[in-house]
Amino acid sequence: MNMHENETLFEMFILETLELISQLEEIALISEKGNSVKNRINELFRIVHTIKGSAAMMNYDNIVTLSHSLEDVFYYMRENHPINVNYSVLTDIILRSADFIKNEVNQIQEGNVPYRDASFIVREIEQFLAAIKNDEKLITQESNDIPPVGDDSKAESSTPGKNRFKVVIFFEDGCEMENIRAFNVLNNLEKYADIIRYSPGDIIENQKTAEVIKTKGFEVEFSTELAMDDMKTIFSETVFLNDFKLELADSAGLNDAFTEKSNNDMEFAGPTLKQSMISVSVAKLDKLMDLVGEIVISQSMVIQNPELVGLNLSSFYKASNQLQKLNNELQDTVMSMRMVPLSATFQKMNRIVRDMEKKLNKKIKLEIIGGETEVDKNIIEHLSDPLMHLIRNAADHGIEPAEERIEKGKPASGKITLEAKNEGGDVWIYVRDDGRGMNKKSILQKAKQKGLLKAPENELTEREIFSFVFHPGFSTREEITEFSGRGVGMDVVSKNIEKLGGVVQVESVYGIGTTVSIKIPLTLAIIDGMIVRVGKSVYVIPITSIKESFKVQESAIFRDETGNEIIMLRGNCCPVIRFHEFFNINSDAVNLTEGIIIVVESEGRTVCLFADELMGVQQVVVKALPGYIRKVNGISGCTVMGNGLVSLIVDVPGMINTS
Amino acid sequence: MAEMYEKTRETEDTQKGKYLTFLLDNEAYAIEIKYVTEIIGIQPITEVPELPEYIKGIINLRGIIIPVMDVRLRFKKQPAEYNDRTCVIVIDVEGILIGLIVDSVSEVLSISDDSIVPPPEIKKGSENRYIQAIGRVENGVRLILDCRKLLSDNETEEISRTQN
């Protein structure tokens, strides 16, 4: 096999295995919560089996050994349906194994050989399995003493908490659609019990099952905490019921044609769902995006061609409008191809919350809203780190231990809400907690200590006070814990979000809770820009930063103590930045009244930019400055204008922070 | 198979020993042709603030944005006005594309290895750092430039920028 084939196999192994591991994690987490791991055993088995197979092909022995031992557990559980399984321990084992394999795959990705020894985990897994098998032996010995048709007292004593029953239901003659009625029975039954299996299995898809039910009845095996009498009452309320037989189930119960009932709490579409989807390499999508960008530029070069100035070309402009419409649609479609729902990233947070719960000994519930909101693939990759930080912060700083919460009159279990929604051209993500909230006073004090106050205390808005927490090294925690206190988290969050072209804000009410809001533009590649002229140069200001623009009157211009120019804007002082001074270029206008003022805002600070003239608004394709030119203060990129010239794109936060 | 080997060796050979020569004032310089991707006429340059003065700015090369360097300023000579003879030599040095603004471009010369001698040790003026060797040709010498040094020798500028 030549090099090329080798590489593709390699990449596919990594991609597939990572996907499978994340499915494994998800199922484990969801099932543990819904207490229904045993219903998903089949899936878990299949996933681990596939991982083992691929790893075996690539000769990664430690992964093979680990998956094999997990396989053994799932196989035993699938075939024997043990009752006394500690699902919490099992989930722990699954998650730890998933972590191990993930780590090894990451090693492989970096070109190293996976070398870590899995025998520690393997031993634990084997012990776990042995324990189950042992328990089973004991239980089957006990249940042999119990008469097959159980009455109440015995039913309650056999397995603490959960009772296992089998029911056969017969419907009235001539009621028709017995298979649908059987489905209704299942639906109803789910409210009270966990369905283990039922026969016939294909009641929805296969009409003929109605016949089977007419003659043999509809069999269901389930486990519930209710007693037999309760179940009798429930079943007797079945619509069109003719008769039913309810008895205590033993393991060697029903046979042939069974379906494992899949649970309703399953949100994601597993590999069994057939969708017409196709996987495309991200490189191709990137290339497509680039081409679309070039088309946007080409289009403006055609439409804004200087040779057309002054000509009467109504038919031409009609045609070019059509072209523009088509291009816009093309652009939208290509961008939507790269959009990926946030749900995968959000689901990862489940794991973090679970780990934090255990480590901090707190009860925390994670609520996820709007997971279907989509974001560009590039952005998703850079979101999970900041989100992890924020969730950790909320769990560590925010949510109080249960006793404290009860004292305050809050529910014992803290709640963290992760919400996403689309608004205009942006995606908003909120991380809300109902914990301690932030103390404005201590933040102000710390800020004073660090000399961060640029204005007198009483003039700072709430937003400005809270935004101090994004300062590097800022933390009002006295001790450093494993998760926070070093003051590194929020700073990293804000830098990462800025890199995505977004902004972070914090709102908090002391004692009630905190909300961190993240706003990210849907795409970085093409933005709406305001074109301004300064002397001979042309600059682009992203529309999202602009609040307004106007020609200023002499009367509104002042100077402060240091001689800096200030403009009064509806009662607020707004410092002036002269474009030509900031960038050291020539400009035509000298007096502020001759040119144009553009008011821009970033992170709560407002500034007036002074330029010669407004040229217009247009869509520009953002290109990075060539790598050879390192970072320039106040410039975030460049673009090619309609006339073929390169314009610089202004980095508004950078300009404001420098002045 | 053997033919393919011959062909590749030939193309390599056709590039070896060939230099593009250009003029700054009356001095003739040369760079190895393997670095040169194209030669274009001077076109409007977009200034970028905070760059060393010998980096005049950036230009649009069929959709790719590349920086341009005025070689006269790089060599600390007096700047000259650009006219219609001024050319931009686009070079690719280990993946970095950059345009070199020169007074005019002369020709492509073959200079064999035995006509190349190392540069003299002592020479005033900073341009010496960028001279890799000296090539002897019929009507004189050509100063062969070290393209990598041209791009990367930024010591003093780097320091002054980080201090800002």
CA-based nearest residue to A100, from A128, A127, A65, A57? A65
**Banded pLDDT at B66 (limits 50, 70, 90):** very high
Strand residue runs (E) in A352-467: 364-369, 374-376, 414-423, 426-433
Range of the domain at A354: 340-520
Question: What would the two tokens of residue B85 be?
Answer: 């003879």
Quick one: pLDDT at residue A154? 37
pLDDT tens digits, A386-427: 888 889 888 888 888 888 888 888 888 899 999 998 876 678
User: What distances in angstroms separate CA A328 from CA A318, A334, A550, one per listed residue?
Assistant: 15, 10, 30
Helices (H) and strands (E) in chain B, counts: 4, 11
Those residues of chain A that have pLDDT short of 50 are 1-4, 145-160, 251-273, 479
Contact assignment for A583 to B49 by CB distance below 8 Å:
yes
Distance of alpha carbon A412 from alpha carbon A393, whole angstroms: 19
Helix axes A343-360, A377-393, angle to 10 degrees: 20
| Beta-strand pair A537-542/A646-650 | parallel
A351 and A225 in a common domain:
no
The partner residues of B131 in beta bridges, in order of sequence, read B145
Question: Does the distance separating the beta carbons of A645 and B98 come in below 8 Å?
Answer: no
Per-residue pLDDT, B124: 54
Residue in B closest to A628 by C-alpha: B96
pLDDT of residue A255: 34
B 45-104 residues with CB < 8 A to A: 46-51, 55, 58-60, 63, 65-67, 96-98
| Together in a domain, A79 and A195 | no
Q: Each residue of B30-64: pLDDT tens digit?
A: 999 999 999 999 988 998 888 888 999 999 887 78
DSSP letters spanning A161-229: S-EEEEEEEEEPTT---HHHHHHHHHHHHHTTEEEEEEESS-TTT-TTHHHHHHHH-EEEEEEESS-HH
pLDDT at B156 over 50: no
Residues in chain B with CB shorter than 8 Å from the CB of A644 are: 60
Q: What is the DSSP string of A127-147?
A: HHHHHHHHHHHHHHHHHTTS-
Of the residues A465, A488, A520, which one is the last residue of a structural domain?
A520
**Is B38 inside any structural domain?**
yes
**pLDDT score of A250:** 62
Same domain, A394 and A493: yes
* CATH code (residue A646): 2.40.50.180
Tell me which of A112, A143, A174 is where a domain ends: A143
Helix H or strand E encompassing B23 = strand B18-24
Which residue of chain B comes nearest to A649, CA vs CA? Answer: B48
A276 within some domain: no
A618 and A633: one domain?
A: yes
- Whether A349 and A239 map to the same domain: the answer is no
- Interface A–B counts its CB contacts (< 8 A) at 56
A293 shares its domain with A218: no
CATH number of A240's domain: 3.30.70.1110
Q: Looking at CA atoms only, how far is residue A259 from chain B in angstroms?
A: 59
User: Residue A617's pLDDT is what?
Assistant: 86
| CATH number of the domain encompassing residue A417 | 3.30.565.10
Q: Has residue B68 got a pLDDT over 90? A: yes
Examine the domain organization and report whether A75 and A178 are in the same domain.
no
Helix/strand number for chain A, H first, E second: 19, 23
pLDDT number for residue A267: 38
Residue-level pLDDT at A389: 86
Residues of A with CB under 8 A from a CB of B: 294, 297, 537, 582-585, 623, 625-629, 632-635, 638, 640, 644-648
What was the pLDDT predicted at A106?
86
Tokens of A30: 């969801």
Domain count, chain A: 5
B67: chain A residues, CB-CB within 8 Å: 626, 628-629
> For residue B79, what is the domain's CATH number?
2.40.50.180
Distance CA A548, CA A550 (A): 7
Across A64-97, b (16+ Cβ under 10 Å) vs e yields bbbbbbbbbbbebbeeebbbebeeeebbbbbbeb
Apex CA A37: angle with CA A31 and CA A40, to 5°? Answer: 95
| Per-residue pLDDT, A417 | 93
Query: How close is the nearest chain B Cα to the Cα of A575, in Å?
Result: 22
Neighboring chain A residues of B49 at a CB cutoff of 8 Å: 582-585, 632-635
State whether residue A463 is helix, strand or coil: helix
Rounded to a whole number of angstroms, the distance from the CA of B15 to the nearest CA of chain A is 26
Q: Which residue range is the domain that position B85 belongs to?
A: 16-163
Share of chain A above pLDDT 90, in %: 7
Write down which residue in A230, A260, A290 finishes a domain: A260
Cα–Cα distance list, A62 to A55, A58, A137, B6 (Å) = 9, 11, 31, 48
pLDDT of residue A150: 32
ipTM metric: 0.78
Work out the minimum CA distance from B151 to partner chain A, whole angstroms: 9
